């Protein structure tokens, strides 16, 4: 269900104060300032799509600045992907600055300070949980205040997917469909970032071996008996050679395997793509549920059941809101 907020019925003298309150409540706390003297006239539409939150913002020229005080009072552990639908904007974060023009995608980190100025126009913002994106592409935070996907085929696909999702209408009974669509968007975002990150022109044999082994591990997380010998054999090397290659990157094959199992389980629970905790464990190679729960809580600070309950609660709340609309 869409939640729509507009300044149309608000007295002109109170419009910007109303706008700032709405944006801070439904996006994130930040200081906002109008940048022209004309009466402020804006609208904000917010909708949930699986694990994502999508906002379409239409407004005249203004800016918002998120500082350390805002982060302390209103923490937000998400990335934002901004698609400029119309007009122009300028984002500053992490010592970088980018001018965002119509059709451009940029990445924000809501957990760190940033400043954004919007010229009169329309902006679509997709809020992506940090852990969900980092599981797919761990280097996402290095792409803040950067154009995403410019000139890349996957960038064009991602832009179209966000535009279509922004216009998509799903009923309360299509929660599974919404979850699949949101996962597809995050997958395409990760693919675009990975493509944009590129590869060094020349990599060592050990680096190439580790990259192949990691890809093999990701394809076989459902194998409970997967071990170093099997991973190494699939790459045509000995387990000792594989272990040495991982050691050069400060890791071991088995540590990497268990890390990816836990991360995949977390995403499955967060994205509601599994029915229960047991399915999340078994799907990604855990046969001992007690060990799974301990390892999960050690990595994330909460139990897998707590993540599942939070996901179920969000789905239930969305249904209640939709049925009351």
User: What pLDDT digit, counting tens, does each position of 126-158 carry?
Assistant: 999 998 998 888 888 889 999 999 999 999 999
- 141 and 29, same structural domain? yes
Indicate if 41 and 133 belong to the same structural domain. Answer: yes
| Range(s) of the domain holding residue 116 | 3-197
In degrees and rounded to multiples of 5, residue 198 shows phi and psi of 70, 180
For residue 281, tell me if it sits in a domain. Answer: yes
Whether residues 105 and 223 fall in one domain? no
| 149 falls within a domain | yes
The predicted pLDDT at position 273 comes to 85
Report pLDDT for 118: 92
Model pTM score: 0.76
Domain count for the chain:
2
* Same domain membership, residue 191 and residue 308: no
Q: Are residues 152 and 44 in the same domain?
A: yes
The end-to-end CA distance of the chain, in Å, is: 8
pLDDT score of 319: 56
- Decide which of 197, 230, 246 is a domain's last residue: 197
Specify the CATH number for the domain of residue 221: 1.10.10.60
Give residue 321's pLDDT: 47
Same domain, 7 and 116: yes
In tens, the pLDDT along 1-24 reads 688 899 999 999 899 989 888 877
Are 73 and 142 found together in one domain?
A: yes
Report pLDDT for 173.
Answer: 78
Structure tokens at 9: 């019925």
* Domain end among 144, 171, 197: 197
> Do 118 and 252 share a structural domain?
no
pLDDT under 70: residue ranges of the chain: 1, 75, 199-203, 314-325
User: Does the residue 325 lie in any domain?
Assistant: no
Please report the pLDDT score of residue 83 as a whole number. 97
User: What CATH number does the domain containing 175 carry?
Assistant: 2.60.120.10
Torsion angle (degrees, nearest 10) of CA 25, 28, 33, 36: -80
The reply to whether 211 falls in a domain is yes
Q: Does residue 183 sit in the same domain as residue 88? A: yes
Of 166, 197, 228, the residue at which a domain comes to its end is 197
The answer to whether residues 181 and 65 belong to one domain is: yes
My answer on whether 41 and 105 are in the same domain is yes
């Amino acid at each position: 269900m869409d939640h729509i907020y507009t300044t149309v019925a608000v007295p002109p003298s109170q419009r910007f104060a109303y706008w700032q309150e709405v944006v801070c409540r439904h996006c994130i706390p930040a200081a906002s300032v109008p940048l022209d003297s004309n009466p402020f006239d804006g609208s904000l539409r917010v909708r949930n799509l699986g694990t994502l939150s999508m906002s379409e913002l239409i407004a005249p020229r203004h800016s918002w600045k998120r500082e350390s005080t805002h982060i302390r009072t209103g923490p937000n552990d998400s990335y934002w992907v901004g698609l400029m639908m119309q007009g122009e904007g300028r984002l500053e974060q992490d010592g970088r600055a980018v001018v965002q023009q119509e059709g451009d995608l940029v990445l924000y980190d809501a957990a760190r300070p940033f400043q954004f100025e919007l010229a009169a126009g329309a902006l679509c913002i997709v809020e992506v949980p940090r852990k969900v994106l980092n599981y797919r592409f761990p280097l996402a935070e290095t792409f803040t205040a950067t154009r995403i996907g410019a000139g890349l085929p996957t960038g064009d696909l991602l832009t179209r997917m966000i535009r279509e999702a922004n216009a998509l209408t799903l009923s309360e009974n299509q929660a599974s469909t919404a979850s699949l669509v949101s996962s597809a968007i995050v997958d395409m975002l990760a693919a675009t970032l990975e493509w944009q990150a590129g590869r060094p022109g020349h990599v060592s044999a050990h680096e190439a071996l580790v990259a192949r082994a990691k890809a093999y591990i990701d394809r076989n997380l459902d194998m409970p008996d997967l071990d170093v010998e099997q991973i190494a054999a699939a790459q045509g090397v000995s387990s000792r050679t594989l272990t040495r290659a991982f050691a050069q990157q400060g890791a071991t094959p088995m540590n990497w395997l268990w890390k990816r199992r836990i991360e995949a389980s977390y995403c499955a629970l967060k994205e509601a793509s599994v029915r229960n905790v047991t399915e999340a464990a078994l799907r990604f190679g855990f046969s001992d549920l007690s060990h799974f729960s301990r390892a999960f809580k050690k990595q994330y600070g909460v139990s897998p059941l707590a993540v599942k309950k939070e996901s179920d609660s969000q789905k239930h709340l969305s249904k209640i809101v939709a049925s009351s609309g």
